[in-house]
Chains A and B, each alone.
Chain A
Amino acid sequence: MTQPPDDGPVMMPEIPGELWTRSAPGAIAVGDLWLLAWDDIIDSAIITAVRADYVLAWPVTFEPEAATGSARLVLSHDSPLGLPMVVWIQAETGIGTHLLARRFGPILSRYEINELRRSLLDGDSPSGTLVTTPAAEPSSNGEDILRRVLQRYQNFCFNEWPGHDVGEGVLNRSAIQGKGIRVEDVTDILGIGPARGLALWDGLAPPTELETTTLANALKTDKRELLVAPTSAEVDELKKPEFKADIMLLERKLGRSEREVRSLLLQSSMQAARQQGGRADTAARINAAIHRLLAE
């Protein structure tokens, strides 16, 4: 998937450290303000709908004079961060829960969100909500801020983990079996040992570029048809924000990208599941993998 370049972390204001660390533990809920993070990019957004592993969200920025079009303002005394905020209701975006980094707390009720949605689609003013309509004349950089918001959130929208590209995707076993191929055939084609063959076959390890190309050539098929995003209880668990702080810590400690750290944790915890059977639950296995990596 091609991703447009990002303009860098320009959306966030200078906020005192104690405000950033003042998170409010709690489940993902409609109306909450969250910090979003991926590698060195951070942003914030209000959750407008909660699904199994993604949310819909309204982008938030912190230059009230930049509000333009349907954007709404939240005044500083209503903001969990004590700062006035621009809520870009015209840019609602689907975002994977793996991007949610820190919950700052509730800011809008479900009623207010519904009322704001209605005002956006009907083109009139919302009622009964703490957000206000911005001044008639936005500052000259309002359009520029909105352009960057749209670009940033398109990137967030298409940011999926785990992916199905080479290095992250695992073998699409049903597609391969559909060609009459068995694990022994994969091992023979790739010239690998049975342990590696089984790991690939069971989706415990992603095939390398060379392995994928070799298999695709042998099976006379497109490489993309051979790979799927891994699915497992560990994947579902790692998408939860509960692990995000440790993942970000590991990124800094290991000097690796978030995608790389997540892959390491996934493979480590899935290997442990295979070795331990049902002796530890999924979250415990992931926490053990985090501690192993932190201790290295």
Chain B
Amino acid sequence: MLIVGGDAHPSDRRVGVVQLLPRDDLVVVLGRTTKQPKLNDRCIPSPVTLECSLDKSGWWIERHKHSIDRRHFGTPACQFLGTLPPAEMKALEEFWEQVRWG
């Protein structure tokens, strides 16, 4: 499952869900940044996607990988913003396959 959500806790970050950890009730996410990544950062472009409230082009970036308690999802602290279009979802899935093993 890949969705885009606001991050848990008061934060203006967008995150993309890349992995569920059922045994822990946690969700692994990659953060999205609109700042130009550095040359060696592991990231992929994320275009403007208004249906997910992504109104500036940016990047999904390994630097902002972290885990969020599943209970935060769907609350005001971590709102569901939309499902990525198929092409962007596939790109994020492929990127996660590259970085999931560290």
**Pair A56/B67 contact, Cβ less than 8 Å:** no
B36 cross-chain contacts in A, Cβ below 8 A: 228
Query: Contacts A4-B9, A117-B102, A158-B11: A54 and B63 contacting too (C-beta < 8 A)?
Result: yes
State the Cβ distance, A182 to closest chain B Cβ, in Å. 23
Report the interface size for chain B: residues with CB under 8 A from the other chain: 33
Residue A69 at the chain B interface, CB threshold 8 Å? yes
Interface locus among B15-23, B47-55, B82-90: B15-23
**Pair B21/A70 contact, Cβ less than 8 Å:** yes
Give chain B interface residues in 6-28, CB to chain A under 8 Å: 7-13, 19, 21-26, 28
Residue from the list A117, A150, A228 in contact with B101, Cβ < 8 A: A117
Query: Which secondary structure dominates chain A's binding surface?
Result: mixed
Residue A164 at the chain B interface, CB threshold 8 Å? yes
Residue B68 at the chain A interface, CB threshold 8 Å? yes
Cα A52 to Cα B43 in complex, Å, equals 13
B10 cross-chain contacts in A, Cβ below 8 A: 2-4
Closest to B61 in A: A94
A228 cross-chain contacts in B, Cβ below 8 A: 35-36
Query: Contacts A4-B10, A90-B26, A121-B19: A49 and B67 contacting too (C-beta < 8 A)?
Result: no
**Pair B65/A94 contact, Cβ less than 8 Å:** yes
B94 cross-chain contacts in A, Cβ below 8 A: none
A117 cross-chain contacts in B, Cβ below 8 A: 100-102
Q: Please encode chain A, from 1 to 15, with 1 for each CB lying within 8 Å of some chain B CB and 0 for all others.
A: 111100000000000
**Pair B11/A150 contact, Cβ less than 8 Å:** no
**Pair A150/B67 contact, Cβ less than 8 Å:** yes
Query: Contacts A1-B12, A91-B66, A154-B7: A70 and B41 contacting too (C-beta < 8 A)?
Result: no
**Pair B65/A91 contact, Cβ less than 8 Å:** no
**Pair A154/B38 contact, Cβ less than 8 Å:** no
Cα A164 to Cα B53 in complex, Å, equals 22
Closest to A95 in B: B63
Closest to A151 in B: B9
| Listed residue (B9, B40, B66, B68) with the most chain A CB atoms within 10 angstroms of its CB | B66
**Pair A93/B65 contact, Cβ less than 8 Å:** yes
**Pair B8/A154 contact, Cβ less than 8 Å:** yes
**Pair B12/A70 contact, Cβ less than 8 Å:** no
Residue A51 at the chain B interface, CB threshold 8 Å? yes
**Pair B23/A69 contact, Cβ less than 8 Å:** yes
A151 cross-chain contacts in B, Cβ below 8 A: 9
**Pair A94/B66 contact, Cβ less than 8 Å:** yes
Cα A269 to Cα B92 in complex, Å, equals 40
Residue B5 at the chain A interface, CB threshold 8 Å? no
A94 cross-chain contacts in B, Cβ below 8 A: 31, 62-66
Closest to B13 in A: A158
Residue A229 at the chain B interface, CB threshold 8 Å? yes
**Pair B100/A147 contact, Cβ less than 8 Å:** no
10 A-B pairs, CB-CB below 8 angstroms? A1-B11, A53-B38, A91-B67, A92-B102, A150-B67, A153-B67, A154-B8, A154-B11, A158-B13, A164-B35
Residues of B within 8 A of A (CB): 7-13, 19, 21-26, 28, 31, 35-36, 38, 40-42, 62-69, 100-102
Given contacts A1-B11, A154-B7, 14 further A-B contacts (CB under 8 A): A48-B102, A52-B40, A53-B38, A69-B24, A90-B21, A90-B67, A92-B28, A92-B102, A94-B31, A114-B102, A123-B22, A151-B9, A158-B64, A229-B35
Residues of A within 8 A of B (CB): 1-4, 48-49, 51-54, 56, 69-70, 90-94, 96, 113-114, 117, 120-121, 123, 147, 150-151, 153-154, 157-158, 164, 228-229, 231
